[in-house]
Chains A and B, each alone.
Chain A
């Protein structure tokens, strides 16, 4: 072989060595990311071991770690997510329908779309600052000193709405709704876009109006995708802490919103249901934060147990979303 050929063979060998090194670097990076996840889950489970029991799930918070429980947070988070869903679903889906089905490519539409992608990138704590000013204090239009209560008699109880809203559960829900609205809109838009135009054309050809087409053809076909997006957005809302702190969630509460601590109480005393949205509140995440900050060692275990409960709830939410998506994919044949 000539010198040139030997040089080339050596070079080729080196290039292949570099290539193998690079492949292993990439593998190690991926595995290390997976290991981070494993370490995080293992750590939380290890710390929570023995602390996640029935007493923890059915008891209220306490200054003594052995007696403290997550019940106030569980109720708080359930109420928050319930109201957030009620506000976000119609608004988010409605906005997506408008943008996908009605809107022409005008300057205003483009502005809305640009705005949506920017809103999705705004830090959650900024939404908290919007919430505390807009909902808790209502822009200071009604000062807290001469605030008043609007009472609405409903037969089985009185709906008492304080103005300004104050640091109540409903203010927290409004804030979370605005926070996840862009996510819901973007996900719903994608689901609507996936419905083939031929379905719309067929419907129009049969004489259906725009709304009839959307209501009876497009929406049913897009529902699985929309539902997946909504569930994922709600699970994001469930894990949020910062905006709730800014809005004024209580770090230590030893009662559920409206004193409604069993589902039965809702039937026995409906007034409590009406009181709940305007009561002070805490959430699972807020309770975890509070426990992390306690100096006593055992509270760290409580924080881990709370985190584990939160993670289990998130897994349930995400599993539901995946099941819905998979079943829809099997059914749809276009």
Chain B
């Protein structure tokens, strides 16, 4: 450090060599620092890469015209250079693979929102109630067992959830209730089964994050409420939950954002029928399942069908990004700080 190259040292031989080795060490130090800095910038490059890939294929292509194998000029236009934004937003049909092509994102957004909605209906109450149970009622020992077990749900690969929805939820849960008892028609692929498993998937996200914030509410607040004659219900719902509300809402938003971006369970269980519908027992396509199905197929690179996945990807990216940013904002802006 600074003592090694102190300016007050006379220029004896020893001092010079010390000085030189010190600058060598310094060189190494700044070299390592630079290397580590470059590592840190990789994450920035990733963001830049994602944005530029989506932008250049969906909005405006800056690359020079490519020439195909036989010397023919390949179409080199981004999605929105060929399809107007108005059509993308207002059209209600999504048929890029057909001869008569329509590019309206609405059916895909509708499918995504329906599945996320069903998932939220299942995941949010169960997740929040489990969080309250773990934080307010469970003994420390019970909590230390249940919490990691619940987190296993988050570690199960999504393809397994898809399998579970298709092979168990639809035939053994939805069919007996909705088809045999209530007389509705339950498709092999349906939004409800996908929504249910996505809901199960997001439970641990909500319960873990919410439990952390519930527990960080200071004890004194609870004790004050009990001293005033509150029941446990009053303490939980009128003191602890309001005090931790920002964290709970942030966890809800993160979970819904995860549900929107969830891919494999939805692709396997919900099918690929891109229609605007309110029927949760029929097949729907989501933004993510559309991207997977085009990637699996043989869409020609550079064709409008292939470009369309980037427009869908951009929409998906923006939706999840906005949810994440709002969740961070809520967490920061409305956090109650106790000392």
Contact = CB atoms under 8 A, between A and B. Distances in A.
Contacts of B231: 15-16, 18-19
Given A209-B1, A211-B32, A246 B54 contact: no
B321 A122 contact: yes
Nearest to A133: B53
Given A123-B260, A143-B67, A37 B149 contact: yes
Contacts of A323: none
Given A122-B321, A134-B53, A29 B295 contact: no
Contacts of B39: 90-92, 94-95, 97-98
A224 interface: no
B153 interface: yes
A25 B236 CA distance: 13
B292 A23 contact: no
A189 to B, nearest CB: 11
B69 interface: yes
Interface residues on A, range: 35 or more
Interface stretch (B8-16, B92-100, B128-136, B174-182): B128-136
B313 A145 contact: no
Contacts of B101: none
B263 A242 contact: yes
A182 B69 CA distance: 39
Given A121-B257, A121-B320, A130-B49, A112 B44 contact: yes
Interface residues of B, number: 95
Residue from A21, A210, A289 whose CB has the most chain B CB atoms within 10 Å? A289
A121 B257 CA distance: 8
Given A134-B49, A251-B296, A97 B36 contact: yes
A126 interface: yes
Contact of A126 (B38, B127, B317): B317
Contact of A39 (B67, B156, B160, B168): B168
Contacts of A28: 129
A118 interface: yes
Given A33-B126, A112-B43, A242 B164 contact: no
B137 interface: yes
Interface string A209-249: 11100000000000000000000000110111110011010
24 contacts: A30-B138, A33-B126, A33-B127, A34-B149, A36-B153, A94-B36, A97-B39, A98-B40, A103-B40, A111-B44, A119-B46, A122-B321, A123-B262, A130-B53, A134-B53, A140-B66, A182-B43, A185-B43, A211-B28, A241-B263, A242-B263, A246-B292, A304-B163, A314-B156
Interface of A: 15-16, 18-19, 21-23, 25-30, 32-34, 36-37, 39-40, 43-44, 47, 90-92, 94-95, 97-99, 102-103, 111-112, 115-119, 121-130, 132-134, 137, 139-140, 143-145, 178, 181-182, 185, 204, 207, 209-211, 235-236, 238-242, 245-246, 248, 251, 285, 288-289, 292-293, 300, 303-304, 307, 310-311, 314, 318
